[in-house]
Amino acid sequence: MKNVMKFLFVFLLAGMIATSCSDDDKNDLTPKIKNLEVGSGHGHGKENDAKAYIGKDLHLSADILAPNKIAKIEVVFHKEGEHHKHAEKHEEKEHKDKWGHFEFKDYNGQVNAKFHKHIDIPEMVTSGDYHFHFKVVDTKGVTAEIKKELKILEKPHK
Ligand SMILES: [Zn+2]
Ligand SMILES: [Zn+2]
């Protein structure tokens, strides 16, 4: 009996490994975001330090793979904790935060894209802990999203 169980277990395990391998690459057409970098600039590790300074620009880059082609890239910044408030105060918030929502269409139609943009952090933005969303939508309407924490800081004093 023990041996039968052992045999069954190995058999099942082998089956699981086999299906998970073949699923991954060939049939998966959902968009993928890799090597996302969010940082205050270029060089000395700034590319991915998750910091931005008011009055300066934020470096953003990512490798995107979208077998069904990119239809839209969206970038959203909001203050930490606004996820909960969002539902109740939706309209109010939309009027208040003019800054924080970006859409990029210049990668549309691409399967493999090397996204690289710099976003200005205007003076009207208040410093603090922010949440950052990087979203890719393909032509079938399938979305891939990465969320990160980001600190927006006052200009460095000189
Ligand atoms: Zn850059
Ligand atoms: Zn968020």
pLDDT value of residue 81: 74
pLDDT(86) > 70: no
- CA of 108 from ligand 2 middle (Å) equals 24
- CA of 92 from ligand 1 middle (Å) equals 33
**Which one is the CATH code of 31-153: 2.70.50.30, 3.40.50.1100, 3.30.420.240, 1.10.3470.10?**
2.70.50.30
pLDDT value of residue 84: 57
pLDDT value of residue 92: 47
pLDDT grade for 95, boundaries at 50, 70 and 90: very low
- CA of 57 from ligand 1 middle (Å) equals 9
pTM comes to 0.75
Burial class (CB in 10 A: 0-12, 13-18, 19+), 103: exposed
Question: Are the C-beta atoms of 82 and 94 separated by less than 8 Å?
Answer: no
For residue 61, which ligand has an atom nearest its CA? Answer: 1
- CA of 29 from ligand 2 middle (Å) equals 25
**What percent of the chain lies above the pLDDT cut of 70?**
71
Q: Is 9 in a helix, a strand, or coil?
A: helix
- CA of 128 from ligand 2 middle (Å) equals 14
Report residues near ion ligand 1: CB below 5 Å: 59
pLDDT value of residue 107: 98
d(CA 139, CA 108): 9
Kindly report, residue by residue over 9-64, the tens digit of the pLDDT.
666 666 665 555 555 556 799 999 999 999 999 999 999 999 999 999 999 999 99
Mean model confidence pLDDT for the chain: 85
- CA of 147 from ligand 2 middle (Å) equals 7
**Can you give the residue ranges of every domain in the chain?**
1-28, 31-153
